[in-house]
Amino acid sequence: MPTLDLTLSAADLTRAICDIPSVSDDERVLADAIDEAVRALAHLEVHRDGDTIVARTQLGRAQRVVIAGHIDTVPVNGNVPTRDVEIDGEPFIWGRGTVDMKGGTAVQLRLAAELADPVVDITWIWYDHEEVEASKSGLTRLAATRPDLFAGDLAILGEPSNGEVEGGCNGTLRVVARTRGRRSHSARAWMGENAIHAAAPILARLAAYEPREIVVDGLAYREGLNAVRISGGVAGNVIPDLCEVEVNFRFAPSRSGEQAVAHVREVLEGFDVEVTDLAEGARPGLDAPIAQDFVRAVGATPRPKYGWTDVARFSALGVPAVNYGPGDPSLAHHDEERVSVAQIEDVERGLRAWLTAG
């Protein structure tokens, strides 16, 4: 079993944990290594649930912060082990997971070991199965069995945000809009009814849709309503009796999931619409004094997070939550995934400054 030295620099720790592959469903080896390393730390109380590890200080501080990172990655594609590369003279660590999000998780592991006496109590959570369906997520499991472990005044998720603070997140909703027709041989099309033709107004409405930008707690969230998939057809000589358009609505956190569904149903009025997936957004929560302290301490300008992240889970439990981690999110899942070493160090400095500020 590999062992982790948590006194390494965050950059070296990034290399170390990226070189232990941990594609979703296969996090055990890395989870065991983290578990063993943090159990050696006297200032942390450790709880394990599957491949999720929770490590808490119990210093009786007035406030508690939850700092979380997932340990799984999307599948490896020839990009493990990591390599050091230089781009425009700047050092990067290249490889699967460097951006999403072992760079952020490495910073957390390093600080978990170092900060025996932070100014706030800290609950560190390193969890499994973030990159797959929500039902498998370590956070889903933990929220069901130990919701008390989520308690805190602020949650910080180490998802890549280019070292900036990204508040909240948009919600995401998927529906399938269906049109139905009647099959016939295409040589006698008048005996059938073409379901693909019937989908013309769905595409026309989506093409004409003007997404809004909505300001929530001072951050401007851009929405988007898009067909992400379309399918229909039986054979090259058959009038199709079914066409399905999968539509993804990314909605500002000021809308509830229910309101988002109502909006999509309104846009697609007259069509059969089935909701297949819904995740509420999260308000940025930057109006909380502790969040403002955090933003000030790390010296960042808050931005909105467009992608859905697990901040929404904390938000749903009433804990304001932000994203703060190294790495360019547009490189997440990319075969050329790579994280700037300087960003890793910046985020490490930022978190340390805030967690030790007297």
User: For binding to a copy of itself (CB under 8 A), which residues are involved?
Assistant: 170, 172, 174, 185-190, 194, 196-200, 203-204, 206-207, 211, 222, 224, 226-240, 243, 245-246, 248, 250, 277, 306-308, 330
> Residue 217, by phi and psi: left (phi above 0), alpha (psi -120 to 50) or beta?
left
Nearer to a copy of itself, 51 or 131 (CB): 131
Q: How far is the CB of 243 from a copy of itself (least distance, A)?
A: 7
Is 213 among the residues known to form the active site? no
Catalytic position from the list 121, 128, 130, 280 = 130
Give min distance, CB of 276 to a copy of itself, in A: 9
Task: Identify the three-state secondary structure at position 170.
Answer: coil
Q: How far is the CB of 66 from a copy of itself (least distance, A)?
A: 23
Catalytic residue among 27, 32, 51, 72: 72
Supply the minimum distance, in Å, between the C-beta of residue 323 and a copy of itself. 12
> Which residues is 155 bridged to in the sheet?
66, 321
d(CA 161, CA 292): 18
Q: Which is nearer to a copy of itself, 18 or 279 (CB)?
A: 279
- In degrees and rounded to multiples of 5, residue 78 shows phi and psi of 70, 15
Give which of 258, 296, 303 is closest to 278, Cα–Cα.
258
Q: Which residue, 63 or 254, is less far from a copy of itself as judged by CB?
A: 254
Question: Is-contact 45 34, C-beta < 8 A?
Answer: no
CA end-to-end span of the chain, whole Å?
39
Q: How far is the CB of 292 from a copy of itself (least distance, A)?
A: 26
Distance from C-alpha of 11 to C-alpha of 8, rounded to nearest angstrom: 8
Residues 56 and 38: their CA atoms lie apart, in Å, by 10
Residue 130 a catalytic site member: yes
- Which is closer to a copy of itself, CB of 3 or CB of 77? 77
Pairing state between β 171-180 and 238-239: unpaired
The residues near 61 (Cβ < 8 Å, ≥ 6 apart) are 118, 119, 120, 121
Q: Kindly tell me which of 115 and 225 has the beta carbon lying closer to a copy of itself.
A: 225
- Asked if 249 and 280 count as a contact pair (C-beta separation under 8 A), the reply is no
Which residues are marked as active site?
72, 130
